[in-house]
Each structure stands twice: as C-alpha cells, then as structure tokens.
Amino acid sequence: MRIPNNYWRALFQSLPLLSRHRVLSRNFATNKRTYQSLGSTLTKSRRKPLTPEQQGYLSAAIRVNETGELGAVLIYAAQTPIMVEQHPGLRQLMQHMYNKEAGHLSTFNNLTTKHRTRPTIMYPLWQVLATGLGWTTEMMGKEAAMACTEAVEMEIGANYNKQVQEVIKMIQGWEQGGYEVGPEILELLQTMRRIRDEELEHPDHTVDCDAKKMPLHDLLTGFVRASCRGAIWVSKWV
C-alpha cells in the first residue's frame, strides 16, 4: 500500500525536534530563566514573576500538548490511505481534521522553541506507537478508526480543559493580589482555549461517521483513552 505524501510530511514535520532535542535540553537545564517571558520579565511593581512550580507546570503543559498533537497528526496520516480509498466521501473530512491537527502541532512546535521547553525524550517511541495505532484501527474498519479518533480527541480535549482551568487559577491569583497579567500568559490561555474547542469538535464528526456502531466500542475507546492518559503522564516528566 502506498503511503500518501501527508504521512511523510507529518513524520518529517516532527523530526527537527529530535535533532534539536539536545540543544533545547541543555538550554533548559542551564538557563534558569526559562519561561521568564511568561511571567518574570515584567515590570517590577505590577507583574508578579512565575513561581518555580508555575514555570514547571507551563513547561510540562507545552511539552504534553506538543506530544499529543504529534500523535493526532500521525494517527490521521496513517488512517487516511485506506479510509479514503474505501470511503471516498470521507476524504474532505479526513483532510479537514488532519489540517487542524497539523496546525496545532505547528503551534506547539513554535511554543517549544520560543520558550526553550525541553521536548519529551519519548518522541521517537510516540511516533511509532501513534502510527501503529492509526494503521491498526484503520485495518479494523471505518467504525474502529472513527472510535479511535473519538477517544484520542476526547482525552486530548479533556487535558486541554484541565490546563485552561489551571492557567485561569494563576491569573485569578495575580489579579486578586493586585498584579497585572502578562500578555504572553493571556495569549497562551487563548491558544489553549481555541485548540481545546477545535479538538472537541472532532468527536462529533466521528459519531456522525458511525464510531458508536463499532462492536466493543467502549472497550476500544477505553483502551485508547487510558493509553493517552499514560502518554500524557509520561511526557509530563520525561
């Protein structure tokens, strides 16, 4: 089976992170001002610097989001060949969802570079597993592929929602203390909200495409969601 160009584009889109991983890791370890642009490079009296805990949380959030978007891109890229061959009417939908995820991945690739966040060292493994999950569920049929997408998008969307709530708590704490909120924090919050909402649109598409009709739907989606939670947890730390 010939793999379409968008799979290789998705794969190579993520490869530059591997080549710069050591540089970013060294910068992260030696430069204690990582994320100062998000809170501590601020006016002396009106903006409060990020605490180490807040810096660590935001660093992990960006790392996890980049990982999740990589997985989504590669799953779509792996599912698409057989999907559109057997169901030509789904070509436009698959392209739409792929383009959304590719845009999300680009956003977090840029944030990783901008804030010198250390990428997860599990990047190569996640590439293999995401591609394998996409191929496997597509070989199981359209309903299984859509159920996989439903589960992945629901878990990613839920994770974004937790992050949004945590950032809002940070902002509320600063405002209650009489501090101004830096523009980059507000921009990050807006980005997380936008991408969360876009992620949570995709499960509706999958339901329209018979995801719920898959035999053992709950078993498959439960497995995929648990796997996503595991990947999120690991990527937070390594």
Strand partners, 47: 180
Please list the pLDDT of the chain residue by residue as tens digits (238 residues).
444 555 555 545 554 444 444 444 445 444 445 555 555 444 445 878 888 888 899 999 999 999 999 999 999 999 998 888 999 988 998 899 899 999 999 999 999 988 888 888 898 999 999 999 999 999 999 899 999 999 999 999 999 999 999 999 999 999 888 888 888 899 999 999 999 999 988 877 887 777 888 889 999 999 999 999 999 999 998 8
Based on the number of CB atoms within 10 Å of its own CB, is 16 exposed (0-12), middle (13-18) or buried (19 or more)? exposed
Give the chain's domains with CATH numbers. Answer: 5-237 (1.10.620)
The answer on whether 150 is annotated among ligand-binding residues is no
The answer on whether 104 is annotated among ligand-binding residues is yes
The answer on whether 115 is annotated among ligand-binding residues is no
The answer on whether 153 is annotated among ligand-binding residues is yes
